[in-house]
Amino acid sequence: MKQKMFLLLCLFISGTVIAQSGQNKFTVLGDAEAKYTATKGESGFGEINFKPIFLWKISDKLFVESEIEIETGDGSVDVGLEYANMCYMVNPYLILHAGRFLPKFGAYRGRMGEAFINKFADDPAGFGDGGIGAMNETGVGALGGMPVGNMKLNYDFYISNGPQLLTDPENAGQFEYEAYTTNNKYSAVGGRIGILPFANSSLEIGYSFQNKSKTGDAETPYQNVGVNMEAVDLNYFHNIPAIASTIRVTGEFKYQKVDSATYYKDDQTPYSFKNVSTAYYASASIRPSLADSKILRNFELAGRYSFFNRPAEAPWGGSNVQQAEAAIDYWLHWNSVIKLCYFNQRGSNAAFSAQIVFGF
């Protein structure tokens, strides 16, 4: 761990020196995060994260982006490679890329869920850890955007290692979505197409899919278990001068269907279940960004409802999860924010959470 941290420190310092020395091909962005949570009988600070993003523009054609995540949410320091993506700019509308990347499966993970974008301190039900849908992929892809009259289309297609089926008694039927290596010789195919129907790009509607016909470990009875995922997302923002505010509405629906398989409990009892999950959220926020008062225009109010429908018979399933959350945010900078959130999950105690995010 110390070696990893030392390596990261060296990379960070060398990058800063290069950036200042006039070579001008490298920069470091990212954010730092800290969270406070209070619920009945328990409170404290945690989830201190540091997420530097390293960017190299090697030439007009070649570009590398990489994010390292140093997180503490599991009770110890966890260093992970979020992405290391090598991009080749083929033409103004087409980019080919390879490496470990954030697939555009829906719009929350990897985009609207980033801490300096998300209005809340938490993820919607089914969209964070333990949720469903693609997270990180290793493979190759093509992406881009293009105008079509007054509209715009964007796309992202990829072939990757894809999710890996878990079969241990606690997690049977779930997936490892962030594996660094493959578990068999089969690949996943996925992609997203987004449509921005208005000329001012205020509305984006996206459809995503991912399919992998064989997700289990090679040469096991689970190898032939396939999975199909689909998602629909929406993002709309609009300035309303009459109330000196900007409103934003976002939402996403995800669906995941896994082929049937026989799993085994701790006592070796066989069982199977219908492994279909869905998750969705809807969120709205308002910020008086056009107000004369600088203090007032830095405030933002947000509300969100989310629902995670899990297989009732799965060892990790059971009851569905419903969450409602309200937040008051104060923007210290364009990418730095203090979030105060009230969180209510059906069947659980209400909770208060606060998060500080400093972007750099």
Partner 1 sequence: MKKSIIIIFTSLLVVFSVILMNGCYESKKVADKSGAQLWAENCNRCHNAPAPGEFNNANWDIVGTHMQVRANFTKTEVDKVITFLKSTNTN
Give the binding site for partner 1 (CB under 8 A): 19, 24-27, 29, 53, 55-57, 63, 65, 85, 87, 89, 91-95, 97, 102, 111-112, 114, 116-117, 143-150, 152-157, 189, 191, 193-194, 199-202, 204, 209, 211, 213, 226, 228, 235, 237, 246, 331, 334-335
Q: Which residues, 6+ apart, have CB-to-CB distance to 325 below 8 Å? A: 120, 122, 303, 304, 305, 306, 341, 342, 343, 344
358 close to 48: Cβ distance less than 8 angstroms: no
Instruction: Pick between residue 63 and residue 281 the one whose CB is nearest to partner 1.
Output: 63
Region of residue 22 (left: phi > 0; alpha: psi -120 to 50; beta: else): left
Instruction: Pick between residue 12 and residue 36 the one whose CB is nearest to partner 1.
Output: 12
Distance of closest approach, residue 221 Cβ to partner 1, in angstroms:
21
Distance of closest approach, residue 65 Cβ to partner 1, in angstroms:
6
Instruction: Pick between residue 335 and residue 345 the one whose CB is nearest to partner 1.
Output: 335
Q: Considering only CA atoms, give the Rg of the chain.
A: 21
Q: Which residues, 6+ apart, have CB-to-CB distance to 192 below 8 Å? A: 103, 104, 105, 106, 155, 156, 206, 207, 208, 209, 231
214 close to 223: Cβ distance less than 8 angstroms: yes
Distance of closest approach, residue 93 Cβ to partner 1, in angstroms:
6
What is the C-alpha separation between 95 and 100, in angstroms, rounded? 15
Distance of closest approach, residue 294 Cβ to partner 1, in angstroms:
14
Distance of closest approach, residue 8 Cβ to partner 1, in angstroms:
20
Q: Which of 226, 223, 191 is nearest to 207 (CA)?
A: 191
Instruction: Pick between residue 36 and residue 114 the one whose CB is nearest to partner 1.
Output: 114
Instruction: Pick between residue 324 and residue 356 the one whose CB is nearest to partner 1.
Output: 356
Distance of closest approach, residue 113 Cβ to partner 1, in angstroms:
11
Cβ neighbours of 136 (radius 10 Å)? 20
What is the C-alpha separation between 104 and 111, in angstroms, rounded? 8
Distance of closest approach, residue 347 Cβ to partner 1, in angstroms:
33
Instruction: Pick between residue 35 and residue 97 the one whose CB is nearest to partner 1.
Output: 97
Instruction: Pick between residue 146 and residue 243 the one whose CB is nearest to partner 1.
Output: 146
Distance of closest approach, residue 350 Cβ to partner 1, in angstroms:
29
Q: Which residues, 6+ apart, have CB-to-CB distance to 107 below 8 Å? A: 194, 204, 206, 233, 235, 250, 252
What is the C-alpha separation between 162 and 307, in angstroms, rounded? 25
First-residue to last-residue Cα distance in the chain: 24
Instruction: Pick between residue 107 and residue 321 the one whose CB is nearest to partner 1.
Output: 107
